[in-house]
Chain A
């Protein structure tokens, strides 16, 4: 059995470390590109959301590389993600390819079924071993997110534009050639050291922008046209609170095991949102409020067309915008979104933020407010 998995930002590094430690056979599908989306859109109905189309594209491109089983996460929330496994299965059988879907969740049939699924991946039923490997994967997840965070901070302050990207790209190339979580952690450490050596502008005070929205589009660089890089190279520091490690730790492990979890975003969102709506609505609203309180210059909200929970966020965000006087821009991504149009909107937004900050520092009234 040759495993594969869909792309979600740097998730491939975590899964790669996990599967290497299990000695499982796997292929990494090509990174998301226009071709992937084209394939996905071809086999999906138009109403399906962007992440699902990309998942289908990943599945087919991995099939070409010889994969015959796909690893995905599940859930049973009101968001569509919980049913992706089933739909991918149906889509695969419609297209006529043979692909087994392994959904890592507690299924209707109970924990026994989950154990058999885990065994398919791990190839062993030694639970101590599985727990150890899972733990090191968790460690990789945390370190990867820290590295990303560091890169974002450095990028906004770099003296020479592109110097951070160079190191980061080298990291992404090298990571494919090494095996096992130990080596991955070592490489991350090494890259961190290199990033710390990047020459920075002294006394830089970059604009600070919070990045909120649906988890897939915010994390996957293809889905957001590498927004983090784009803004970073414009000299804007971008912060994204919803990260892979936070998702794995907080929303999957702690929630699943009923351990106390981080609820700061839920508390912050309380004034605007009562009960759970599913998806990342609580994160979107809560983190926007937190960013606003932290004195950020603006917030960018991104979600794919047809994402039900984020429509609720979009309707609530103007209230946050007004209460905290912080400009918020909502961008909706679908397969028809052009990169140039996207860039123009982001650039215009950054210009607005710049003028707005100047106005605060010079005390002159130069433009209308952002809402």
Chain B
């Protein structure tokens, strides 16, 4: 049986179910790299150019973690994952960066995924990826259908407020998800690969939960509504993440049920340098929701990180209890 390795990084955190179901449907054995740990991060940082952002370095580490264990490594070349929009150019170039930086590599699947013009390209990409493993077109079609179905189911569940890893740990049948009975809710906006990778973000979500705070991520918000909200900008953002973040924040402000917004970004992220700026301005101008930006890199110290989160949480709680005496948020 062919062993296909999937690095646990970048868009894995979004499409893991899709990819796993697809490759299993094709009859391949799926090997996923270990959860991010210190060694993976150090390996990645040593191999990758130092200017790249943290998620890319971590991704390099994951690829190296798979070398020797698998026959094929799945590192798709993302150009676009939604209509008329691009993703970050660094992710677009990551397969080339890997090919030219890591010397010993098994064969890699670097099919282009470009849904900029049409969503049908997703099937074409699946066909090309499938051909690496099997020649049976019917099998690929079935695997693709199953994968799509599983992915859509997962998205539906995520929208109701569960986090990805929680959902996956739950091996029993889908439970009825109740709205969490937390008093405070904080939105964490950021790329899926920083928000869901609990090592790189130093367990931010677990920490927030520990304070009894409910967490909302961008995956819990409706994408099409976000896209609609983005029309208030004179020029639509041409990054997929930008649309999700800006539209998501507008939705959050309008709902009025959010007590704080945390922006999680990695140092040197070019998309965030614009998007976070826009988002911050929007929040500061049109609401009094507290906002804090957390920047991650491979040197981030956990103590300092904790202090900032603690201070932020204390501030939110105090706003609730002493609401006549609110500190200025802007």
Which residues of A approach B to under 8 Å, CB–CB? 45, 47-49, 74, 76-80, 82-83, 85-87, 89-90, 94, 103, 107-108, 272-279, 281, 305-309, 311-312, 314-316, 318-319, 332
Contact = CB atoms under 8 A, between A and B. Distances in A.
A277 B278 CA distance: 24
A277 B100 contact: no
A153 to B, nearest CB: 33
Nearest to B48: A315
Contacts of B95: 274
B142 to A, nearest CB: 28
B138 interface: no
B277 interface: yes
A82 B281 contact: no
A300 B139 CA distance: 50
Contacts of A77: 86, 238
B88 interface: yes
Nearest to A83: B274
Among all A-B residue pairs, the 8 with the closest Cβ atoms = A312-B93, A47-B273, A78-B86, A319-B100, A315-B97, A308-B270, A278-B89, A277-B93
Nearest to A74: B235
A281 B235 contact: no
A272 B101 CA distance: 11
Contacts of A272: 96, 100
A81 to B, nearest CB: 11
A103 B234 CA distance: 11
A306 B295 CA distance: 14
Contacts of B52: 311, 315
Contacts of A90: 277-278, 281
Nearest to A308: B270
B235 A83 contact: yes
Contacts of B274: 48, 80, 83, 87
A139 to B, nearest CB: 31
Contacts of B77: 274-275
Contacts of A82: 238
B92 interface: yes
B40 interface: no
Given A108-B235, A274-B110, A309 B100 contact: no
B90 interface: yes
B106 interface: no
Contacts of B236: 108
Contacts of A103: 235
B149 interface: no
A90 B236 CA distance: 14
Given A79-B89, A274-B112, A281-B93, A49 B100 contact: no
Interface string B270-282: 1111101110010
A185 B238 CA distance: 39
Contact of A78 (B87, B96, B281): B87
Interface residues of B, number: 40
B93 A49 contact: no
Contacts of A274: 77, 95-96, 110, 112
B309 to A, nearest CB: 21
B49 A311 contact: yes
Contacts of A278: 86, 89, 92
Contacts of B94: 312
A47 B297 CA distance: 13
A221 B270 CA distance: 24
19 contacts: A45-B273, A45-B276, A47-B270, A78-B238, A83-B237, A94-B281, A274-B96, A274-B110, A274-B112, A275-B92, A275-B112, A281-B93, A306-B270, A308-B88, A315-B49, A315-B52, A315-B93, A315-B100, A332-B51
Nearest to B273: A47
A276 B92 contact: yes
Contacts of B87: 78
A9 B100 CA distance: 33
B89 A308 contact: yes
A314 B89 contact: no
B157 interface: no
A86 B97 contact: no
B51 A305 contact: yes
A80 B92 contact: no
Given A47-B270, A277-B96, A306-B273, 19 more contacts: A45-B277, A48-B273, A77-B238, A78-B89, A80-B270, A83-B235, A89-B234, A90-B277, A90-B278, A108-B236, A272-B100, A274-B95, A274-B96, A278-B92, A308-B271, A309-B90, A311-B90, A312-B92, A315-B101
